[in-house]
Copies of this chain bind each other. A is one copy, B any other.
Amino acid sequence: MRLTVDIKTLNAGILTVIKSLSSKPVIAVLEGIYLHARKDGLFLRCSDMTLQIDCLIDADVDEEGQVVLPGRLFADIVRRLPGEAASMRLEGRTMSIHAGKVRTQLQCMDPKDFPDMELLGENITFSMPQLELKEMIRQTIFAAASDDTKPILAGALFELKDNMLTTVALDGFRLALRRYATGAVLQDNEAVVPSKALLEIARTLFESDEAVKVSFSKAHMLVDLGHTRMISRLLEGEFIRYRNILPSEHKTRVRVNREALLNSIERAILLAREGVNNLVRFSVEEDTLKLYANSALGKLDEEVQIHLNGDPIEIAFNARYFSDVMRTLTDEEVYLDINTNISPCVVTPVQGNAFYYLVLPVRIFA
């Protein structure tokens, strides 16, 4: 293995794949970055056994070969190399990296031990804008479970049904859902993707209308950007039948400025966080939503202007579940649809129907 590579290009490639470097690897080789010098360039790969990221970068390859380099160390060294180009040469188990007057030699690991996730069997494949997928992930995974009591809830459902892609995450207290019309004729399918992997996938996607190819096999999801490919293992087991828990009616509809409500809730949290359940009380009246929060340190109340349609109501929530969704949205106005103060409240943007959020109230009223 012998090659010359532009240092900036190599650094960018490393930063792409290193998102899936294992911090506590099951097998030692996963602490490394897998390199494959090929005719078409230098191929990089990291994997934490849940997410694998591949990246192909330009390089002048004089001699092909494969190797696994200590990941963090290699990344840190490349980031600090002087000049424009680095030459790399593998001799036995030692990789020499030269750049300017800097000479580094790194001890390598055996590339044969490095795992490879591949999509087996028949796949379902479609394209969508990168930004759309990025937003679908961002606007749902915050609602996924953060503990391990129900492992399937630590993932988000990607459901294909009637050519509509629906992403759903829930944790037993709230549910976030995003829809996207694929515009393709696709087989119905369900896949649950670990939210940890989705977070890194969303970070890697650009805020661009350029297309990304998404594929599902029985065991994996592939997000393919061309030179960069991200493959996530799927979670096993069946996702919650979420359609059954979406309420079909409401007695109270509140229309409210999202940012005004977010600001109010973030103040209420300051007091709510000192008590139990981050509790904030909403009192929905004609034209006004009154918020109350209190703890041993003090109390807070304030008013937000609203448009009310239906019955006034008093209801209480975990303030965090409300601030999370208000922060994830960018819409100017949202609806809060409430039925009773012991049944779920639904949050939707006033414009469009791509997003849907459901949150359970805290029962404090008789």
With A and B bound together, what is the CA distance between A77 and B298 in angstroms?
11
Given A70-B297, A82-B263, is A270 in contact with B76 using a C-beta cutoff of 8 Å?
yes
A257-299 near B? 1/0 per residue, CB < 8 Å: 0000001101100110010000000000000000000001111
Interface size counted on chain A using CB atoms at 8 A: 33
A227 proximal to B (CB < 8 A): no
A80 proximal to B (CB < 8 A): yes
A73 proximal to B (CB < 8 A): yes
With A and B bound together, what is the CA distance between A297 and B104 in angstroms?
11
A190 proximal to B (CB < 8 A): no
User: Which of chain B's residues has its CB closest to A82's CB?
Assistant: B263
Are B73 and A303 touching (Cβ within 8 A)? no
Are B299 and A105 touching (Cβ within 8 A)? yes
A289-324 near B? 1/0 per residue, CB < 8 Å: 000000011111111100000000000000000000
Are A271 and B80 touching (Cβ within 8 A)? no
Are A297 and B103 touching (Cβ within 8 A)? no
Given A101-B303, A302-B101, A302-B103, is A267 in contact with B297 using a C-beta cutoff of 8 Å?
no
Are A102 and B274 touching (Cβ within 8 A)? no
A77–chain B nearest beta-carbon distance, Å:
6
Are B266 and A80 touching (Cβ within 8 A)? yes
A106 proximal to B (CB < 8 A): yes
- Residue from A70, A107, A302 having most chain B Cβ neighbours under 10 A: A302
With A and B bound together, what is the CA distance between A101 and B291 in angstroms?
11
Are B263 and A106 touching (Cβ within 8 A)? no
Among B76, B80, B105, B297, contact of A263 (Cβ-Cβ < 8 Å): B80
Give the oligomeric copy count. 2
Are B297 and A102 touching (Cβ within 8 A)? no
Are A270 and B73 touching (Cβ within 8 A)? yes
User: Which of chain B's residues has its CB closest to A305's CB?
Assistant: B101
With A and B bound together, what is the CA distance between A299 and B81 in angstroms?
14
A256–chain B nearest beta-carbon distance, Å:
14
A151–chain B nearest beta-carbon distance, Å:
35
User: Which of chain B's residues has its CB closest to A267's CB?
Assistant: B80
Are A267 and B303 touching (Cβ within 8 A)? no
Are A107 and B77 touching (Cβ within 8 A)? no
A258–chain B nearest beta-carbon distance, Å:
15
A293–chain B nearest beta-carbon distance, Å:
9
A170-205 near B? 1/0 per residue, CB < 8 Å: 000000000000000000000000000000000000
With A and B bound together, what is the CA distance between A104 and B80 in angstroms?
51
User: Which of chain B's residues has its CB closest to A303's CB?
Assistant: B101
27 contacts between A and B (CB under 8 A): A70-B297, A70-B298, A73-B274, A73-B297, A80-B263, A80-B267, A80-B270, A81-B267, A82-B263, A94-B298, A95-B298, A100-B302, A101-B303, A102-B264, A102-B267, A102-B300, A103-B301, A104-B271, A104-B298, A104-B299, A104-B300, A105-B298, A105-B300, A106-B297, A106-B298, A107-B296, A107-B298
Known A104-B271, A104-B298, A104-B299; 20 more pairs at CB < 8 Å: A73-B270, A73-B271, A73-B274, A73-B297, A76-B270, A77-B300, A80-B263, A80-B267, A82-B263, A94-B298, A101-B302, A101-B304, A102-B301, A103-B300, A103-B301, A103-B302, A105-B298, A105-B300, A106-B297, A107-B296
Which A residues fall within an 8 A CB radius of B? 70, 73, 76-77, 80-82, 94-95, 100-107, 263-264, 266-267, 270-271, 274, 296-304
